[in-house]
A = this chain, B = another copy of it.
């Protein structure tokens, strides 16, 4: 089977690859997309798909999020889980009623249905890896003045 699989992978354009890290939170040739608010302004957050995705055949997606100073992700809940590892800077996560400070290397597991939000109250970028299932439900934004903006997907399948 391995040889067959390799042939299939080549046909599908799935090739092994080393992608070099550039300045922290950047990888050669990997585009990062700004999150946009409903009014079109950037949301002080950007996202890059590092591996997985619709055409990959993987059951997971590995993404990198970076929050600029003052940035935050949507305050939301969903049935799918998050596994997060902090790569750069410091920030905080709201999980239900609790807020936790986060430092480099810290791991966060967000359980199904948990209301959560990542925020950057610092003066430096806050970056983290986030693993999710490729097949997952759409987040529901909860509360906050910018809740409407959270329903704006920056790209198909990005949530």
Instruction: List residues of A whose CB falls within 8 A of some B CB.
Output: 1-9, 14-21, 24, 27, 30, 50-52, 56-60, 62, 77-79, 81, 83, 85-87, 93, 95-96, 100, 102-116, 129, 131-135, 137, 140
Contacts and interface: CB of A to CB of B under 8 A. Distances in A.
Copies of this protein chain in the complex: 2
Q: Main SS of the interface on chain A?
A: mixed
Contacts of A59: 59-60, 133-135
Nearest to A80: B58
Contacts of A50: 83, 85, 107
What are the 6 tightest A-B residue pairs by CB atom distance, in nearest-first order?
A: A21-B105, A6-B113, A51-B83, A5-B113, A60-B60, A59-B59
A133 B60 contact: yes
Contacts of A60: 59-60, 83, 131-133
Contacts of A24: 105
Given A50-B83, A133-B60, A104 B5 contact: no
Contacts of A111: 6, 9, 14-17
